[in-house]
Every structure is written in structure tokens, then in C-alpha cells.
Amino acid sequence: MTRIVLVTGGAGFLGSHLCERLINNGDEVLCVDNFFTGTRENISHLLDDRRFELLRHDVTFPLYVEVDRIYNLACPASPIHYQRDPVQTTKTSVIGAINMLGLAKRLKCPILQASTSEVYGDPEVHPQPESYWGRVNPLGVRACYDEGKRCAETLFFDYRRQHQLQIKVARIFNTYGPRMSMNDGRVVSNFIVQALRGDPITIFGDGAQTRSFCYVADLIDGLVGLMNTPPTFTGPVNLGRPDEFSMLELAKTVIDLTGSRSQVVYQPLPQDDPRVRKPDAGLAKAAIGWEPKTQLREGLKVTIAYFETQLRREKR
């Protein structure tokens, strides 16, 4: 039987890939987005598909539709975007979660929350297991996103306890791939665009801080796999590649793959920027059977090719 699946934030980087995967799996998709960071270009190839419907809507307002499943991905996810309007960012995470949970409650359908590794803040435990409560500055410039996502997780588990809602919570670690925005301020897109333009590659801090990098197709495998787990399994579950690279290692890899002559320059570290970030991915493997397959260099080659195309269009 064909399912109707709601994807909020469906025109964003991750959302567009999820919509595409669900349609390829035989589902019908209702893509909801207010285009704060998402773009029509990301889902333009789906617009003519009879199984795809696009609705422009802000999740901070109630939504009345009939669907069988909900993936709640709506929220700007890069510091540049979520700090542009921090109050709205918090509203999207919290009020948006309340509205989507209310919809799921009415429909008695499963709902998945796209949470984030940022709930761990600047961690004192490494790698970060799901049992770790985190170390987040509630007053800092990143708090609108970090605390908004933490509150959304609270709401999801309270709706489960109070209303027996079927919930899934995914904590997404750094993800990269085609359809990232060139101007989102994330390290992978920054480094690639700077290298392709021949600009200096900007590293904040000394370059020793680390991140794990998961290719988008692998991440989507994890989201779909999590949604398909039995109702008794809720998560939260880390979705990220369980290895790590320093910012300097990433910069050197991008320079190598692009053949760029860009030089590395250093700037002060932003407030509350985590020093380390790496998932403990044991639960994802045990509960979902999920392991990311794409090696960093392999995924970067595809991502670089995407940005080369984007930059050529920019020059026209």
C-alpha cells in the first residue's frame, strides 16, 4: 500500500534528498517548506512527479493535512542561517515540533524528529554516546539552535509518555553532499568553494578541532531505516560517520582533490564552537543495521563536482 509521507523542510539540503528517496521507494510525498533556507531548485526535478506535492508553509503555524508518516526536518541548520534570526530559529524548533506532534497525535501516525549532534554542545565525553546529556551554553549565540533542538527532543518524549505517540529521534552529525548551499558557512561547502575560486581557505582556530563527516546518501539511509524500526524503538540514535578529521586535514584533502593553489589562513574561533565531535555509532548499527559506506574522499569528489557546476552557473 502506498503511504503518504510529510517531509517538513523538504526543499532543504537533507529534505530534498529524503523526498527523492521516499518517492523512489514508492511513497507519495508532501513536501512542506517556507523557503527560509530551502530552494525550489533542490526539488525542481520532482515537481512534475505525480507522487510529489509541494506546499509552501511555515511550521510555526498549524498544518491540517492527511498523511501516514511525518519526518520533521524543518529548521535552518548552519550557524550563518540560524543566527540570522535566532528567535525564529527557536520558534521553528519548539513551536514547529508542537504543531507537528499535534498533527501526528490527531492522525495517530509515526513521526521522526531530525535532531542534531549540537545537543551535545562542546562535549566533555568523546566520542558522544546517546546517553550523554551534553554541555551546552544556554545563553550563547548558538543556543537558539542547540537549545531549540534539545527542547524539541523533550517534547517528543513527553508526547510519547503522555499520548503514546510513535516517535523516532535522530541526532544528525555533520553531513555533506550535493545541494548544500554555497553560502551556508559550513566547513565542507566553505572549503570547497574557496578552493575552487582560488581564495584563501579559512580555518577558525588552530585547525586541530575535529568533526565527523557523513555523506548525504548514507544519512538518508539512516533516517529511513530509523523510521522503519519497530514502534518500541524511539532513539535517540546518532547518525554520523564514526571517524573524525581535523579542520586542517579536511582543508588539505579539499586542496588535493580540487588541485587548488589556495593557501590556508587562520581566524579566531567563534564563540562556543565545539573542539571535538564524533558519534558513538554503536546503537545505529545494533538497532537499525546502519553503517555509513561512503569514504570522505569519495563523497568529496561528488560534492566538488556539484559545486563546480554551481559556480559555472554563477558566472553566466
Q: What is the pLDDT along the chain (316 residues), one digit of tens a residue?
A: 789 999 999 999 999 999 999 999 999 999 999 999 999 999 999 999 999 999 999 999 999 999 999 999 999 887 888 888 999 999 999 999 999 999 999 999 999 999 999 999 999 999 999 999 999 999 999 999 999 999 999 999 999 999 999 999 999 999 999 999 988 888 999 999 999 999 999 998 888 988 999 999 999 999 999 999 999 999 999 999 999 999 999 999 999 999 999 999 999 887 767 788 899 999 999 999 999 999 999 999 999 999 999 998 887 6
Which residue range(s) make up the domain with 106?
A: 4-315
Reply yes or no: is the peptide bond before residue 292 cis, omega within 30 of 0: no
Q: Give the count of domains, the chain.
A: 1
Torsion sign over Cα 300, 21, 237, 112: positive
Look up residue 237 and give its DSSP letter.
Answer: E
* Model confidence, pTM: 0.95
**276: CATH:** 3.40.50.720
Residues in the chain: 316
Residues with a known catalytic role: 145
